[in-house]
Amino acid sequence: MKKKAILYLNQFFGQIGGEELADHAPEIREGLVGPAMELNKQLGDVAEVTHTIICGDNFMGSRQEEAVETILGFLEGKEFDIFFAGPAFRAGRYGSACGHISKAVKEKFGVPVISSMNDENPGVEMFKKEMYIFKGGASAAAMRKDVKKMADFGKKIITGEELLSAVEEGYYDRGNRHQKWLNPPVPATDRVIDMLLKKIRGEAFQTELPIPPSDLVPIAPAIKDLSKAKIAIATTGGIVPVDNPDRIQSASATRWGKYHMIGMDTLESGVFKTIHAGFDPAAADADPNVIVPLDVLRVYEKEGRIGSIHNYFYTTVGTGTTQAEAARMGREIAEDLRLAGVDAVILTST
């Protein structure tokens, strides 16, 4: 008897529409939609896709709690043995959505969850420890190949076949270490001496404990005369105009905004607010200057303690945002600041 699978898609691959329909509310359809047809084909006699869940990327990004709760409600009472999401390719919002819903499904229903994303998708860093994410292509041109990887691994899980390492299977390393019995057995002392000798001889070897590299950012030199410096404000506290014109996500952000403060001595409540989902917004909504301290800096500017304040402040949300996405946004903001002749930036959080 075939096992049952369910697939999650965004509004584009769910054949609802493009960016203009990214606010599409979650829905569940019986049967196959879009990539579900290829997934069902690749699962063969082992499993069948019984339902397709579709949700707009913006809906999941801006109303995540509601979206997840709704989808988990769809799944109540449904029989399913495995859950798939995507492939999400290089689409950051889609990757984040696949990760959030897969994590929630795994926690609530205890079923295996599988997705596929390109290595530049921020969803990889966010969720690779929570689930199996296969290394995928940059665009939908890799759809068939990426779906096959997901399906093949799903079949191994369903049938109880031995699961190999992340490198051998093709998914991103989850950072989990397992006991592995070598056949024939080789003591750890012999293995480490073998690696040491190879290193001394300049030969290739594979460590058993890879350590991820960390970026080191040099400390910038001090400003000699603040009274002549142009100072900008940036924040990860999510302060935006009340209509959030750039649709910055309240968590797991992939966007940043730039908003003018020309002629303002303060950021007014009712004109600005926070969309950050990681803290109680009451204080920041009542007085946005507690996050973006324009009022105090204007005083310093008038006293001559700083030369001038840049006409714009820069904002995004830090909670859940991956290091890769943060670095990308930082580079983009830094380039804009450089072109504006800014000398220094005050970066606030929450």
Asked whether the predicted pLDDT for residue 210 surpasses 80, the reply is: no
Between strands 47-55 and 27-30, the pairing is antiparallel
Tell me how far the alpha carbon of residue 97 is from its chain's centroid: 8
Hey, which of 163-167, 184-188, 297-301 has the most confident mean pLDDT?
Answer: 297-301
- Cross-strand partners of 230: 308
Average pLDDT estimate for 94-110: 94
Spatial distance between the Cα atoms of 66 and 46, rounded to a whole number of angstroms: 33
Spatial distance between the Cα atoms of 197 and 108, rounded to a whole number of angstroms: 49
Spatial distance between the Cα atoms of 203 and 216, rounded to a whole number of angstroms: 28
Nearest to 42 by CA among 143, 169, 165: 143
Helix (H/G/I), strand (E/B), else coil: 92: helix
| Residue 153 CB-half CA count within 13 A | 25
The torsion angles phi and psi of 28, rounded to 5 degrees, stand at -125, 135
Q: Which helix (H) or strand (E) holds 88?
A: strand 82-89
Asked whether the predicted pLDDT for residue 288 surpasses 80, the reply is: yes
Residue 319 or 146, more confident: 146
Structure-block tokens of residue 155: 């079949």
Average pLDDT estimate for 177-204: 88
Lowest model confidence (mean pLDDT) among 106-115, 143-152, 181-190, 327-336: 181-190
pLDDT of residue 180: 74
Asked whether the predicted pLDDT for residue 74 surpasses 90, the reply is: yes
Over residues 241-281, the pLDDT tens digits come to 999 999 999 988 889 999 999 999 999 999 999 999 888 99
Residue 224 burial (10 A CB sphere; 0-12, 13-18, 19+): exposed
Contacts of 4 (CB under 8 A, 6+ apart): 47, 48, 50, 79, 80, 81, 82
**Three-class secondary structure assignment of 233-264:** EEECECEEECCCCCCCCCCCCCCCEEEECCCC
Average pLDDT estimate for 52-73: 93
Asked whether the predicted pLDDT for residue 215 surpasses 80, the reply is: no
pLDDT of residue 43: 95
Average pLDDT estimate for 175-193: 83
- Contact between residue 49 and residue 32 where contact means Cβ atoms under 8 Å apart: yes
Average pLDDT estimate for 206-227: 84
- Contact between residue 120 and residue 94 where contact means Cβ atoms under 8 Å apart: no
Tell me how far the alpha carbon of residue 16 is from its chain's centroid: 23
Dump strand ranges (E) for 160-220.
none
Q: Which domains does the chain have, with CATH numbers?
A: 3-169 (3.40.50.2300), 226-348 (no CATH)
Asked whether the predicted pLDDT for residue 225 surpasses 80, the reply is: yes
pTM of the model: 0.63
Nearest to 280 by CA among 291, 271, 270: 291
* Sequence letter at residue 287: D
Can the peptide bond before residue 87 be classed as cis, meaning omega within 30 degrees of 0? yes
Asked whether the predicted pLDDT for residue 327 surpasses 90, the reply is: no
Looking up tokens 């949700």 gives 55
- The whole-chain average pLDDT of the chain stands at 92
Helix (H/G/I), strand (E/B), else coil: 27: strand
Spatial distance between the Cα atoms of 103 and 128, rounded to a whole number of angstroms: 10
Average pLDDT estimate for 299-306: 96
Lowest model confidence (mean pLDDT) among 47-56, 83-92, 94-103, 165-174: 165-174
Spatial distance between the Cα atoms of 27 and 286, rounded to a whole number of angstroms: 36
Spatial distance between the Cα atoms of 184 and 163, rounded to a whole number of angstroms: 19
Spatial distance between the Cα atoms of 280 and 274, rounded to a whole number of angstroms: 10
Spatial distance between the Cα atoms of 248 and 239, rounded to a whole number of angstroms: 10
Q: What angle do CA 40, 143, 32 make, to 5 degrees?
A: 30
pLDDT of residue 309: 97
Categorize the per-residue pLDDT at 102 as very low, low, confident or very high, splitting at 50, 70 and 90: very high
- Contact between residue 224 and residue 251 where contact means Cβ atoms under 8 Å apart: no
* Sequence letter at residue 284: A
Between strands 308-315 and 257-260, the pairing is antiparallel
CA distances from 236 to 10, 307, 327, 332 (A): 27, 24, 13, 15
Average pLDDT estimate for 217-242: 94
pLDDT of residue 227: 95
